Amino acid sequence: MVDTPEDIVHAINHSNINEINNVLFSHVDPDHTLGIRVFEQLRLNWLEVSEGKECSNPINVLAMEHVMSDMNSIQFVFGSYLDYYEKTRNLIKRNVINKFIHIDGIKISCIKVNHATIFVFEENEKKVIYAPCDVKPFPNDDILKDADLLIIGNTIVGNILKDGFVLKENNPLRDDLFIMDEIQNIKRKYNIEEVIITHLEEDWGKSYNDYLELENHYDGIKFAYDDMEINI
């Protein structure tokens, strides 16, 4: 699993996922971390704790060093949440990733971009890139070439947005977020077969029917929806 947004428990409950043993964190932004209590839902059993039995199969929490440092800074009155989950309740075990790690035959490579991380998943000659928000400018790295799929967040969809807002050329959002032309350029530059745009905002003023219509105007670019399943 990548990240723990606020609604992650609902997403898990509506999916076909039966077991979670590894969680990757891409960056510390609230919309990627504020569902961190999912560790309690996944591993904490108060009935067993009442008899002195703590969790015996902690979840592996994985992140690059800069992200792990940010994650450790999320605190409450008794200290770091991750310290509580690991040292007090044994629900998790933290591991810092340097450049890559192997999990169940999948190679996961990490690329630092700003305060975030791009993950590259490789298995049996298949390659999937997950690029969350805050990854602009997109890195120049050969490992990104010839991927089967790029999942990318924080893309402004359209120039006319919610309530008729017109996104001007000098709007500072263009400095932080990709526009559709830039997504197309990334797809071509790295010879990526398919792109799925996620992290879609209400501010873009689009219904899902609008996104389906837009898909007809782009080659190999689709828009995500809740519970989306992708076969590679």
Q: Indicate if 124 and 82 belong to the same structural domain.
A: no
Q: Indicate if 122 and 215 belong to the same structural domain.
A: yes
- Among 46, 68, 98, the domain-final residue is 98
What's the pLDDT tens digit per position in 173-212? 999 999 999 999 999 999 999 999 999 999 999 999 999 9
Q: Indicate if 215 and 149 belong to the same structural domain.
A: yes
How deeply is 61 buried, as exposed, middle or buried, from its count of CB atoms within 10 A (0-12, 13-18, 19+)?
A: buried
Q: Indicate if 87 and 139 belong to the same structural domain.
A: no
For the chain, the C-alpha Rg in angstroms (whole number) is 19
Q: What is the structure's pLDDT at 78?
A: 87
Domain contains 51: yes
What's the pLDDT tens digit per position in 86-122? 999 999 999 999 999 999 999 999 999 999 999 999 9
Domain contains 45: yes
Domain contains 105: no
Q: Please state, as a whole number, how many other Cβ atoms lie within 10 Å of the Cβ of residue 222.
A: 18
Q: Return the ∠ at Cα 42 (arms to 230 and 228), rounded to 5°.
A: 15
Q: Indicate if 122 and 220 belong to the same structural domain.
A: yes
Q: What is the structure's pLDDT at 125?
A: 95
What is the average pLDDT across 10-17? 91
- Among 35, 67, 98, the domain-final residue is 98
Q: Indicate if 84 and 139 belong to the same structural domain.
A: no
Domain contains 113: no
Domain contains 147: yes
Q: What is the structure's pLDDT at 60?
A: 98
Domain contains 232: no
User: How far is it, in rounded angstroms, from Cα 73 to Cα 46?
Assistant: 26
Domain that holds residue 92: 1-98
Q: Which sign, positive or negative, has the C-alpha torsion 139, 146, 198, 67?
A: negative
In the predicted model, is pLDDT for residue 16 greater than 90? no
Name the amino acid, one letter, at 22. Answer: N
What's the pLDDT tens digit per position in 138-179? 999 999 999 999 999 989 999 899 999 999 999 999 999 999
Q: Indicate if 125 and 74 belong to the same structural domain.
A: no
What's the pLDDT tens digit per position in 42-63? 999 999 999 999 999 999 999 9
Q: Indicate if 1 and 84 belong to the same structural domain.
A: yes
What is the average pLDDT across 11-35? 95
What domain count does the chain have?
2
In the predicted model, is pLDDT for residue 227 greater than 90? no
Domain contains 104: no
The proportion of the chain whose per-residue pLDDT surpasses 90, expressed as a percent, equals 95
**Domain CATH for 145:** 3.60.15.10
Put simply, whether the predicted model's pTM sits higher than 0.85 gets the answer: yes
Q: Indicate if 125 and 222 belong to the same structural domain.
A: yes
Q: What is the DSSP letter of 78?
A: T
Domain contains 16: yes
Name the amino acid, one letter, at 128. Answer: V
Q: Indicate if 42 and 129 belong to the same structural domain.
A: no
Q: Indicate if 124 and 73 belong to the same structural domain.
A: no
Q: Average pLDDT over the chain, rounded to whole?
A: 95
Q: Indicate if 178 and 93 belong to the same structural domain.
A: no
